[in-house]
Structure 1
């Protein structure tokens, strides 16, 4: 992020009504316009946290983020550039029923419309461009997706400062802060399953997330660094299970193991190998990559990958 730009985040919210795709647009009170839900980043927030929060504040609907669908850039009245990141997000029937929306001083009304109507209805060309990008995925048969979050454990005590077994090395104070900082961003993707190497530094990294979600950690030596080093790891089995499950999950492992995890995700989904896999697997401690897959056709390949650097 630059200091001069104003950053914001939002989403293309969708649902199926009798099998037909509908998009949620908002009618803003102050501007008398029709737009996509979005809002500015609050201090200390990541963009994905902003997107989820702003969508809920403006529509009353709680969503989990799907694939990124674009970035809009435009000049504000006083000349500053505004940069808005958008994600697709399904509004489930239960989330719609639980909506807390009432007309207010910012948003006068919500409206579900067909994509064709939305394209001619939205007030701003930048919103139309974002919707068009989303619709290219729809045209390619990609609508419902699920993420596999590949997480490198947080900062651990260096080996030379630890006299016990390597698998028992604990997190440093910075690592503990990192483990707490990842909770919000990873929750934004609707993760419900937590799988971790059985090393202490990995389990400790996802413990705050486990507590926040109320979900147990599935510990496995199959993606541990010790198993990788002695040739007994089985990344393929762990990755294959996650792809078959088609549920949002996080997989916490180690720097040397993560390239293999990304490679197996590509193989499990019939994805062409490329340099992007190297970029997604070159994670700093406390960093993670979000691999988006089609829920209907996982074998059609990786849809998108986002990489998030540690914020602490």
Structure 2
């Protein structure tokens, strides 16, 4: 009897999104037709070299649909056989930018026939399920509607690497990012830009300011001090810090807060204390001990009243 294990198949990484918008009270989803496969699906594609799944998802949705989107919460992933490999596709909810007002009747929102897609239709969730060619895609519609369609309103960032505190001879408040931390700060800027942040707040020492420096430059936004969310401020007066976070959750747009170890994990645990789901975290991880690696980001989704409906963890890329 041959007991040798079957070799693992290679994996192909891909990513995509479900673009959605409202027409009056009717939720509409964008589904695309690919002539190469003669199928209807949601826009997606393979990752390019050095690309993260979320960066790839936004790029693919833009290339295939021409839509400008605002990234929402992470959806379930799909795995299926593709030739001799397993293809793993990560998906996100993506609200379509309707800053110019509602679409005109029959308007596809900037779509033009391209090398991958020759048609885009806006359909109700029920009609989308009937149109989609694959059962897994229909499952994504169920996932999308399983929680309120709330935007990401808060992005919590743990500062990037800043060397070893024991080897720093100056005041700890002045300890700067190291070479790896500066690379992580650039990665953070690329990630945060996908959420179109509105304000950038810094709670903490120099390394926190430097972590958001590339984001501030790329987005042309000022960095604002928020002492209540520094480690010193938070642990001295946690209720005041939580009140500040609560106020941010009730505003329009996504606000960014960068702080130190302990603060980010405490805030995520408090925000999701009523069992709001966490994604990007091992299922074996206790809800009250969320991860907070240096250079990581938590994207928190909430409704207009500031009630949190979920949080997605984005670990550092390096």
Per mean C-alpha deviation after superposition, the further-off stretch among 120-129 and 160-169 is: 160-169
Question: Which residue in 2 is equivalent to 1:253?
Answer: 259
The one-character-per-residue Cα deviations of 1:120-143 (angstroms, maximum 9, x if unpaired) are: 101111111111221222xxxx12
Contact preservation (8 Å) 1:9, 1:84: yes
Match of 2:295 among 250, 264, 286: 286
Check if 1:88 corresponds to 2:93: yes
TM norm structure 2: 0.86
Tell me the distance in 2 between the aligned counterparts of 1:205 and 1:3: 38
What pairs with 1:10-25 in structure 2 (closer than 5 Å)? 10-25=16-31
Question: Which residue in 2 is equivalent to 1:30?
Answer: 36
The one-character-per-residue Cα deviations of 1:71-103 (angstroms, maximum 9, x if unpaired) are: 111111x23111111111111223779955321
> How many aligned residue pairs are there?
298
Contact preservation (8 Å) 1:65, 1:188: yes
Q: CA deviation at 1:152?
A: 0.6
Secondary structure class of the residue paired with 2:71: coil
Identify if the C-alpha distance between structure 1 residues 236 and 94 changes in structure 2 by more than 3 Å, giving closer, same or farther.
Answer: closer
Tell me the distance in 2 between the aligned counterparts of 1:136 and 1:261: 24
Question: Which residue in 1 is equivalent to 2:146?
Answer: 136
Tell me the distance in 1 between the aligned counterparts of 2:19 and 2:144: 10
Secondary structure class of the residue paired with 1:285: coil
Q: CA deviation at 1:225?
A: 2.7
Match of 2:208 among 184, 202, 205: 202
What pairs with 1:134-213 in structure 2 (closer than 5 Å)? 134-137=144-147, 142-213=148-219
Tell me the distance in 2 between the aligned counterparts of 1:66 and 1:277: 23
TM norm structure 1: 0.87
Match of 2:135 among 125, 147, 153: 125
Question: Which residue in 2 is equivalent to 1:275?
Answer: 286
Q: CA deviation at 1:297?
A: 4.3
Q: CA deviation at 1:199?
A: 1.1
Extract unaligned runs of 5+ from structure 2: 1-7, 278-284
The one-character-per-residue Cα deviations of 1:192-241 (angstroms, maximum 9, x if unpaired) are: 22111141000000010111111111112222234356x25642232122
Match of 1:103 among 87, 107, 113: 113
| Bigger helix share | 1
Match of 1:39 among 37, 45, 52: 45
Tell me the distance in 2 between the aligned counterparts of 1:59 and 1:38: 10
Identify if the C-alpha distance between structure 1 residues 94 and 244 changes in structure 2 by more than 3 Å, giving closer, same or farther.
Answer: closer
Contact preservation (8 Å) 1:72, 1:130: no
Contact preservation (8 Å) 2:20, 2:27: yes
Contact preservation (8 Å) 1:192, 1:213: no
